[in-house]
A and B are shown apart, each in its own frame.
Chain A
Amino acid sequence: MKPNLWNDEFKEFVLAQEMHPDLSVTGKIHQVVRSELNPSWQKVSFKALMVHLLVGASLLSVCPQFGIGGFHGLEVVLMRFGHHVCTFICGAIFLGVSAMVIGLALQPEEMRVLRTLHWFPLLFLSLISLGIFHLLGANLFMSISLVWIVGALLGSFVGLQSGWNLQLRFRGLKPNAN
C-alpha cells in the first residue's frame, strides 16, 4: 500500500466523527474480553498440572532412581552432602524445571490468576508428584518427604519467577505496567 494513501486514510480515521456503539455490542465485546482476561483458577491449575506432568515425565525418564539414568554422576556428587541435601536438591530441580516451563507457557492473565493462589498450586504439584513417586514404588518417609517438599516449593518458586521473567523478556514486556 502506498504510504500517502495510508496516511490519508489514517487522517480520516483520526478525524472521523465519533459515534456511540450500541450498548448490546459493547456488552458483548466486554463479556468476551473480561472472561478471557479472567480465566478460572481451575482452568489455570489444570493447565499447570498438564505442563508439570509432561515436564515431570521427561525428567523422570533421565532420573537415576526411576528412569534410564544419565545423571548418576550428579547423584554421587549430591549424596556427598548427605541424604537430606540430595533430597532437597532433587525436589528443587524436579519442581523448579516444571515451574519454569509453566512460567513460560502460561498467558499473562493466567499467571495473574496463579499468583492469587499463592503457594497452593506449587504445594499441590509437589504433593501430586510425591503421590506418583509412591505409585512408582518409592518408599516415602515423613522427614525425607518434608525435605523434598521444602526443596520443591523453593525450587518451583524460583523456577516460576524465572520462567515468567523470560516470557516477559521474549514478549518485550515489563513486569509492572502501573
Chain B
Amino acid sequence: MKWTEISEDEVLMHAYQLGDFSAFETLYKRYSGRVLGYVRKKVMEPSQADDIFQSVFLKLHNSRQRYNSTLPVQPWLFTICRNAVLDYWRKTQRDQAVVQSDSIENIPAPTVEEARSLPDLSSLSAAQRKAIELRYIQDLSFEKISKILETSPSNTRQILSRAIRGLKNVMHKKEAS
C-alpha cells in the first residue's frame, strides 16, 4: 500500500505543494467523483460539466501554492468548485446579453411610410443620430460604423440600442399624448 493512500488530505496537499504527483493522484481519486457529481447537479449539459470539472482541477493545480496546509482541504476544494460553476453561469449570462444585442442587426430598415411616421431624431445625441443614419439609411455594417464613429463594434451596438430605445420612448409619449 502506498503511503499516500493512508494519509490525510492535508498531508497529501502538503506533499503535492512540494511537487509530489502521487499525492495529487490520491487527492484526485478521493474527490473527483464528488466534484463531478456536484458540477453535474449544477450544470445539466454533460460536456459543459466536464469542462468545468476539468477547470476545477486545473485551478486547484495552479493555486496549490496558495493553499494553507493548516486548514482542511475539502472546503478549499469546494470553494474552487463553486467559483468555477459561478464563473460558468456568469459567462453564460454575458454571452446571452451579447446575443441579444446582436439581434439589433436583424432589425429591418424602415419603409418610406414608416420613416415618415418616425419621430424627430433631434431627441437623440449626435453619435446616436449618426449611428442610426449610417445603419438604417446608408445600410453600413457595424464594423464600418464603428470605424466612422471611432469606437468599437460592441460600443456601436450599444449606441444603436440606446438610440432605438430612446426613439421608442419618444413614440410612446407621442402616442399617449
- Indicate, yes or no, whether A interacts with B: yes
Given contacts A22-B50, A29-B54, A29-B58, contact A13 B18 (CB under 8 A): no
Q: Shortest distance in angstroms between B87's beta carbon and chain A's nearest beta carbon?
A: 15
**Segment 74-117 of B: residues with Cβ below 8 Å from A:** 74-75, 78, 81-82
Which of the residues A12, A21, A37 comes within 8 Å of B38, measured between beta carbons?
A12
CB of B136 closer than 8 Å to a CB of A: no
Q: Which of B61-69, B119-127, B148-156, B160-168 is found at the contact surface with chain A?
A: B61-69
Q: By the criterion CB–CB under 8 Å, are B33 and A173 in contact? A: no
Contact partner of B75 among A10, A25, A33, CB < 8 A?
A: A10
Q: A14-B74, A33-B24, A178-B3 are in contact. Are A171 and B34 (CB under 8 A)?
A: no
Decide: A109 and B19 in contact? CB cutoff 8 A.
yes
Number of chain B interface residues as a range:
35 or more
Residues of B within 8 A of A26 (CB): 28, 32
A interface residues, how many (CB within 8 angstroms): 34
Within the assembled complex, what's the spacing in Å between the Cα atoms of A107 and B11? 19
Scan residues 118-177 of chain A and give those whose CB is less than 8 A from a CB of chain B.
171-174, 177
Q: Give a binary string over A10-48; 1 marks a CB under 8 Å from any B CB, 0 the rest.
A: 101110111111100110111011101110000000000
Given contacts A14-B74, A21-B36, A21-B53, contact A30 B25 (CB under 8 A): yes
Quick check: A112 and B61 within 8 Å, CB to CB? no
Say whether B33 contacts A19, CB under 8 Å: yes
Indicate if A108 sits at the interface (CB-CB under 8 A): yes
Return the CB mask of B41-67 against A: 1 if under 8 Å, else 0. Answer: 100000000100110011001000100
Which one, A18, A20, A22, A171, contacts B17 given CB within 8 A?
Answer: A171
A10-B78, A108-B19, A174-B14 known; A16 and B38 CB under 8 Å? yes
B21 A37 Cβ-Cβ under 8 A: yes
Residues of A with C-beta under 8 A to B133: none
Closest to B70 in A: A172
Contact pick for A13, options B57, B69, B70, B81, CB 8 Å: B81
Q: Which residues in B have some Cβ–Cβ distance to A below 8 Å?
A: 3-4, 7, 11, 14-15, 17-21, 23-25, 28, 32-34, 36-38, 40-41, 50, 53-54, 57-58, 61, 65, 68-70, 74-75, 78, 81-82
A-B contact pairs, 28 of them (CB 8 A): A10-B75, A10-B78, A14-B34, A18-B36, A19-B33, A19-B36, A19-B37, A19-B40, A20-B33, A21-B32, A21-B33, A21-B36, A21-B50, A25-B53, A26-B32, A33-B21, A37-B19, A38-B21, A108-B17, A109-B19, A111-B19, A171-B17, A171-B65, A172-B68, A172-B70, A173-B14, A177-B14, A178-B4
